[in-house]
Structure 1
Amino acid sequence: MTLEQIFVPMSKQDAFALADAVMEEFGLALSASAFENENGDWVFEATCDQKPDVERFNELAQRVLNGKVEFTIGQVPDKDWVAHSLEGLSAIDTGEFFVHGSHEETPIPDDKIAIKIDAGQAFGTGHHETTTGCLEAVSIVANSDLAPKKILDLGTGTGILAIAAAKRLDQNVLATDIDAKAIEVTAENTEINGVADKIETAVATGMDHEIFAQRGPFDLVLANILAGPLVELAPDIAKHTHEGSVVVLAGLLNRQADGVIEAYAKNKIALLERVEKGDWTILRLQREA
């Protein structure tokens, strides 16, 4: 199979943001990454199994970075890309959770909640700061007085947060995504992790789908997506929560956090905690009366 790459030099922060966004756009690329080259410059790079759709890449860059970039396209040699995607992808020991892939040989600690997620499926293997931050937030909620019974994982990706919530909180979870492939992957992962009976999945764009009204209002909402959609969803998340509900938001860069916090404050969802992990911010908020 002949593969092609699309790449462009940019700041570290923008390269990571664009790579994450590309991995949420199913069918756009096989993989996307941000790395520092031998000259010390940061580069965004995506690998495609067909001619890269430059128009879609530009549309995404415009949405995520608020600007157009000049991409370069080149061919890459054939290789075992499944094996390549697992290179250096070690298990993640974060808080109460141990996230690992099928290839991982490290023994699972007895005091950890194991979650098996393989690379290359969809966004969310547990190796990104936004995902680890959300996993830590699940632990905080679990150790609080909230005791949520109705949980929503909005933009579930691989289902990692839904699985973590179902295992740690021992409650049913609604996991939704705008992409059918993500929901297919999530359903597979719930089976692998033994929580298929606790997680309901649905393809839903926005929060107009009837399932949100049927399953809500939610005591806990987990949303690890992007800053723009998070701001747009603020009124709907407020609508489908109640006084005391906790909302965990991630997928936003540090420079975007203030705007997201403001949008939720306008909808009576106030900041409880703001955690920065590298270039990324995770917010824990609570619905007011």
Structure 2
Amino acid sequence: MADQITLPAHLTRDQAYALVDAVMAREDLAMTASAYEDEATGEWIFEAMSETEPDLEAFRALAVEVLDGDVDFTVEPIDPEVNWVARSLEGLHAVQAGSFFVHGSHDETPAPAGSTTIRIDAAQAFGTGHHETTTGCLEAIDRALKLRRYRNLVDIGTGTGLLAIALAKRSRQRVLATDIDPVATDTAKDNARENGVGRLITAITADGLSHPAISRGAPYDLLVANILAGPLVSIAPDVARVTARGATIILSGILAHQATRVASAYAGSGMHLRRKLLRRGWATLVLERS
């Protein structure tokens, strides 16, 4: 049975997010982590979900290292009838990243003038705009679209479809969105329709870049991939294969200390680093295919 680990209260926002980042970077823990503010108390709460029996000792050791002290946490079985991903995201507030304003339907915060507004509700897929990898991508997309007009765009590892929606709303071009998880692609389609760009976004379930639909759509002049460093390194030759000369490539899901390894892998396939954005220990890389 799946379990939920909770560190209640007594955490600062920075501590809660730092622990989320550390847990998500440890693939061996097999946990999905989130942090949110208790609106009643203003205190920050960390939660992690595991579909298998969690390694509590490994988690405790990591938490002690990140929080610099002993930690107390509770472990409870997860009710299979509850959408725990949605529950953990309900309290998240609106996010401004570049000129993009991302909010949930529960948040009535007015968007700043001139913003491109995107509504993403809690769902069983990654990507609400709150994690540094997503905000980094949004800022990189914002800058790229201000500098140049793109006509053939693809989002690899789309999750909720947030980045594909951002691309479609701002470019008004068709966007191919892919994800290995069929739940994510269904979520992306729903979110695209909700944001008025359903006709511009084609979402497909695909592992890597070998799907025939990706090959048929190539070459792309803008490619975004917000996944993890290991998979990014492995697909570097395929990214070179499906992108046009002069294409912009935006990569994230990379811990800061992994950025050099990822950039080197892409340089070896003819894509060179033009800009690096650092956000709370995470890196977003903007490259150009020579």
TM-score of the aligned structures, taking structure 2 as reference length:
0.78
Q: Which runs of 5+ in 1 are unaligned?
A: 23-27, 36-42, 59-71
Describe how 1:1-289 pairs up with structure 2 within 5 A.
4-6=3-5, 15-19=20-24, 32-33=33-34, 45-47=47-49, 52-54=52-54, 74-75=75-76, 82=86, 85-87=89-91, 89-145=92-148, 147-288=149-290
* Mapped contact 1:117–1:160 kept (Cα < 8 A): yes
- Please tell me the residue identity of whatever aligns with 2:52: P
Q: Structure 1's 232 and 86: CA in aligned 2 closer, same or farther, altered over 3 A? A: same
Letter in 2 for 1:194: G
CA distance in 1, matches of 2:120, 2:16: 29
1:219: Cα distance to partner?
Answer: 0.3
Q: CA contact under 8 A between 2:87 and 2:122: conserved in structure 1?
A: no
Tell me if structure 2 keeps the 8 A contact 1:261–1:271.
yes
Query: SS state of the match for residue 248, structure 1?
Result: strand
Contact 1:19 1:34 in 2 (8 A): no
CA positional deviation for 1:7: 7.5
SS state at 2:147 partner: coil
Q: How far apart, CA to CA, are the structure 1 residues paired with 2:17 and 2:195?
A: 34
Name the aligned partner's letter for residue 170 of structure 2: R
**Per the alignment, in what secondary structure is the counterpart of residue 212 of structure 1?**
helix
Contact 1:6 1:52 in 2 (8 A): no
What is the CA-CA distance between 1:18 and the residue it aligns to?
3.1
Q: Deviations over 1:36-79 (max 9, x none)?
A: xxxxxxx985235xx73449xx9xxxxxxxxxxxxx98226989
C-alpha contact (below 8 Å) 1:5/1:74 kept by paired residues: yes
* Change beyond 3 A, Cα 1:76–1:208: closer
Given that residues 33 and 46 in structure 1 are in contact (C-alpha distance below 8 angstroms), is that contact kept between their aligned partners in structure 2?
Answer: yes
- What TM-score results when the alignment is normalised by the length of structure 1? 0.79
Deviation at 1:251, TM superposition (A): 0.3
Deviates more, 1:100-109 or 1:13-22: 13-22
The Cα of 1:286 is off from its aligned counterpart by 0.2
State the partner residue of 1:61. none
* Mapped partners of 2:213, 2:83: distance in 1: 40
The CA RMSD over aligned residues, in Å, is: 3.2
Q: Distance in 1 between matches of 2:233 and 2:162?
A: 23
Residues 14, 106 of structure 1: alpha-carbon distance in 2 compared, 3 angstrom cutoff: closer
Gaps of 5+ in 2: 8-14, 37-44, 59-72
Q: 1:158 to 1:272 in 2, by over 3 A?
A: same
Q: 1:268 to 1:80 in 2, by over 3 A?
A: closer
The number of residue pairs the alignment matches comes to 255
Question: Are residues 17 and 250 of structure 1, via their aligned partners in 2, closer, same or farther at CA, if it must alter by over 3 Å?
Answer: farther
Q: 1:188 Cα deviation (Å)?
A: 0.4
